[in-house]
Amino acid sequence: MMKRDFTIRTKPVVASMTALALCFGLSACFDDDDDDLDDPISTPSPSPTPTPTPVTFDVGKCLNQTIPGTGGVTVAGAVVPDVLAIDPSQPAGFPNGRLLPDPVIDVTLALLFLDVDASGQSPATFAQLPLNPPSNDVPFRSGFPFLAPPQGSPPIASSGGSAFNFRTAPDTQYVRVDRMGMPAVSTALIPSDTKIEYNDANPVVDATGEFVPELTNTLEALTEGIGGDLLDLGFNICAD
């Protein structure tokens, strides 16, 4: 009687559990032969991450909105020309003049970025964010020049500045070093390579629109940079 050998031959398992998991349910991992475990396993290529579409903002609405409490002055009208106007028929306080404790930087930035007509939102709301000290750390003087004394013990000049009288000095003795009509405009909206030209120029030049492109371009770039953060804080931005 012939005897048959039914020895079962097994192949070494070379696939890891991870590889099997990748192949599970993928018909491409198996073919018609019996050596699927020996076949090289193709790892699916990751899908490319789509490039985010850049968000652009139109800040025209920001520049054309009316500033509350100014009798119809627009943001653009307050910035160009860069002067601080005073209307005696309107309540005193920035941007109608300036009181020493007024948070002028916060109010200016609020006018540039926020929709001041939105319900429950105003420049004062933005200024109340806990970003700055609530008051000056040294009390203001009760008389001219009203500013608080300097901190520490600054040296007393023997000549020059100590003899300067703000009340009687002629205009020729004044030198403009920075524009502060609408604080934060020169600092935040004028590009670095244009600041000297801007500060040297007379506000009359502003009215011709000389610096309007720089102001607009910088405001658009800043809105693209922080617009999302302002929305996350619950503010309504003025840009479209």
Structure tokens at 20: 């099997």
**pTM exceeds 0.85 for this model:** no
Q: Give domain limits for the chain.
A: 60-133+173-232
Structure tokens at 161: 């500045």
Render each residue's pLDDT in the chain as its tens digit; 240 residues. Answer: 444 443 334 444 443 333 333 333 334 444 455 555 455 555 566 666 666 555 678 899 999 988 877 788 898 988 888 888 888 888 888 888 888 888 888 888 888 898 988 877 777 777 666 666 677 888 888 888 888 887 777 666 555 555 667 778 888 888 777 888 888 888 889 998 998 899 888 888 998 999 999 999 999 999 998 888 888 888 889 998
Distance CA 141, CA 100 (A): 11
Q: Is 159 helix (H, G, I), strand (E, B) or coil?
A: coil
CB-facing half-sphere around the CA of 184: CA atoms within 13 A: 15
